Structure 1
C-alpha cells in the first residue's frame, strides 16, 4: 500500500509498505478520505513534537477491511470514522479525569495512507459507525471538531455573552459555530476575507479584517464602555495573538489559548491587570472521549457541514501540494481521496 512518511521540515515521502494485519482487538480500515490539518501544516513547515521519521495524518474515514480476534463492535464492510487517540485510563492524569493529558495515548497517526491500523483502545472507545446518510468527508471532521468542542467546554459562555475568536482557520471557524450555538454574540478576526465570509456563515455577528483594523481596539469598541469581551479565544498558534487576546478581554473575563506555538516560545501578560482584574488565561490541548462523542453527534446533526470546510481533492501522490496550499491559507481544508 501507499503511505506518506514525514522525514523532516518540508520533506515528506511516499513509500510502499505492507498492508497492516490486525492483532486482537484491532481493526484495519481502508481510508476513503483524509483531510489536511493545521497541525500537519505546522509540522511540515517547521517541525513538530516528534522526531522524524514518523507517520502523519489523523483526520480520516473509511471502510473496515479486516478485524482482529475479539472485535464485536465492527465488522468487515462497516463505514467508520476513528479518532486518532484514546486515553489509557491508568495513568495519573487519566485517574484525575484529565484525559487529554494522558501520557500513554494509543494513536493511529498515519491516515495519509491507503490502509490504517486502528489500535484496540480506539476501537473500543473513540471509533464510530457512520450513518448511511453521512459522507466520508463529514465524518472525517470528527477529530478537529472534537478539539473545538473540548476547548469551548473549558470556558464559561452564557447566552448573550460576547466572544471574540482570533483566527478563522478550521478550528477558529468551529469555535465560532459552537459559541454561536451557545447563544453568544461572536466577533471574528482574521486577515483573509474568504475566511471572514465563512465566519459570518458560522454565526459571527461582527467581522474584523486585521489588515484594515486594529483587532484590539476594534473589538473593544464593539462592547459597551469599551470594556472588552467576556471571552477571547486564540486560534492562530502565534504568541502575539495570545497577547492580543489578553488585551481584548474585560476585567473578570476569560482567555482561551488553543493554537499551539513553536517550541520555546514565550508570551508576556500584564501581571497587574491579570491580578487586579482577575483575568483567567487557560491553555487547552487535544480532546477527550466525551468530547469526541459529542463532536460526532454534532456532525450527524449537521451543526457544521463538510461542504463549508473541505474545498479541493487530491491523490495521495499530491499530498505535499495539498498541505502547502492549506498552509498558505488559500483554503480551509483539502482532502486526499483514495480510490
Structure 2
C-alpha cells in the first residue's frame, strides 16, 4: 500500500509498504478520508511529538473508512462497515485511569498512520474507541471526531456548563484565541451551549466562519495590537470569564492570561514546542485568583460525544474542510496549511 512516513523535520515521504494484517482483536480499515490538522502540521514542522510519535513512523491520526479485515476474536463488527477510530485508548489500569483521568493515562496507546490506503486499529482502540458512523454522516465529517473530542474535553475542563448560562446574570464571556480548526470548533460548541464568544485570529475568512459558528465578536489581531485592553473594554473593564488559547505559541499563552478577569480560568490548550517557557505575573495570578489549566487530548466519553455532536449537524462543520486532495498532494497540502491557505483538507488515499 501507499503510505506517508515521517522521517524528521519537514521530511515526509510517500512509500510503498506491505499491507497491514490484523492480529488478535485488531481491525483493518480502508481509509476513505484522513483529515489534516494543526497537530500534524506542528509535528511535520518540528519533526516529532513529545508523546504521540517518534520518527521514522507512519503519519496522520484523523481518519474514517470501511472495515476490510477482522482479526481473531473480533466480534460485533462487519466487513464493509463504515467506522471512525480515535487515535488512542487508555490502559484503564494505571494510577490515573483508576481516577477516571484517562487523558493522563500512563500507558496511553497511540495509533498513527492515517495518511495511507489502509490503517490497522490496535485491539485496545477497537475495544474502547472504534465507533460506527451513522448513515447520515459524511465520512470526511466523521473523520473529525478526534479533534472535536479534544475540544469537548477542553470545554469540560474549563468548568463551563450550560448551568452557568441559566444562573449567571449574563452568559459567560469566553475569549477564544486562534482561528484554526480547533479554535473554530471551540467557538461552535461554546456558542451552542449559550456562551458569549469572542474570537481573535488573523484571517478574515476564518473569522467569518467563526461568526457563522456563533461568535458574537470577532477581532483580527493584525488590527488589535493590544488585545488585553480591547477585551477589558468589551467586558466592562474586567476581562473574559474564560480564555481559551488555541495557537500553541508561548507569547500567546501570556496574552491569554492577561485577557482574563479576576477569578477567571485560562485554558492553555494549544501545545507549545518542547521545553518552552512562559512568564506569569504573580500578582495577577495570586490576587486575581486565576485558574490556569493545561488541557491535553480526550477520553473515550468525549469521543462518543463528539461523534454524536457531528451527527446532529447543528453546526456547519463542512466549512472547516477547505478541499479534498489525493495522497500524492500531502506535502503540498502541508505547505498550504503552513501558509494558512487552507483550514483542514480531507486526504483521500483512493484518489
Matches within 5 A, 1:1-339: 1-49=1-49, 50-157=53-160, 158-159=164-165, 160-213=171-224, 214-224=226-236, 226-339=237-350
Q: Alpha-carbon deviation of 1:26?
A: 0.6
Helix, strand or coil for the counterpart of 1:241?
helix
Structure 1 unaligned regions, length at least 5: none
Q: Match for residue 168 of structure 2?
A: none
Q: Give the Cα separation in 1 of the matches to 2:70 and 2:337.
A: 34
Q: Alpha-carbon deviation of 1:280?
A: 0.3
Q: Alpha-carbon deviation of 1:324?
A: 1.6
Q: Give the Cα separation in 1 of the matches to 2:116 and 2:25.
A: 21
Helix, strand or coil for the counterpart of 1:153?
helix
Q: 1:85·1:107 contact (CA, 8 Å) conserved in 2?
A: yes
Q: Alpha-carbon deviation of 1:97?
A: 1.5
Q: What TM-score do you get using the length of structure 2 for normalisation?
A: 0.94
Q: Alpha-carbon deviation of 1:96?
A: 2.0
Q: Alpha-carbon deviation of 1:135?
A: 0.7
Structure 2 unaligned regions, length at least 5: 166-170
Q: 1:191·1:209 contact (CA, 8 Å) conserved in 2?
A: yes
Helix, strand or coil for the counterpart of 2:293?
strand
Which string of whole-angstrom CA distances, capped at 9 and with x for unpartnered residues, describes residues 139-190 of structure 1? 0010000000000000122210100000010010011111112211110000
Q: Give the Cα separation in 1 of the matches to 2:157 and 2:103.
A: 12
Q: Which moved more, 1:51-60 or 1:112-121?
A: 51-60
Q: What TM-score do you get using the length of structure 1 for normalisation?
A: 0.97
- Structure 1 runs (4+) deviating above 4 angstroms are none
Helix, strand or coil for the counterpart of 1:211?
helix
Q: Give the Cα separation in 2 of the matches to 1:246 and 1:310.
A: 31
Helix, strand or coil for the counterpart of 2:264?
strand
Q: Which moved more, 1:128-137 or 1:143-152?
A: 128-137
Q: 1:137·1:306 contact (CA, 8 Å) conserved in 2?
A: no
**How many residues in Structure 1 have an aligned counterpart in Structure 2?**
338
Q: 1:34·1:336 contact (CA, 8 Å) conserved in 2?
A: yes
Helix, strand or coil for the counterpart of 1:137?
helix
Helix, strand or coil for the counterpart of 2:43?
helix
Q: Alpha-carbon deviation of 1:338?
A: 2.6
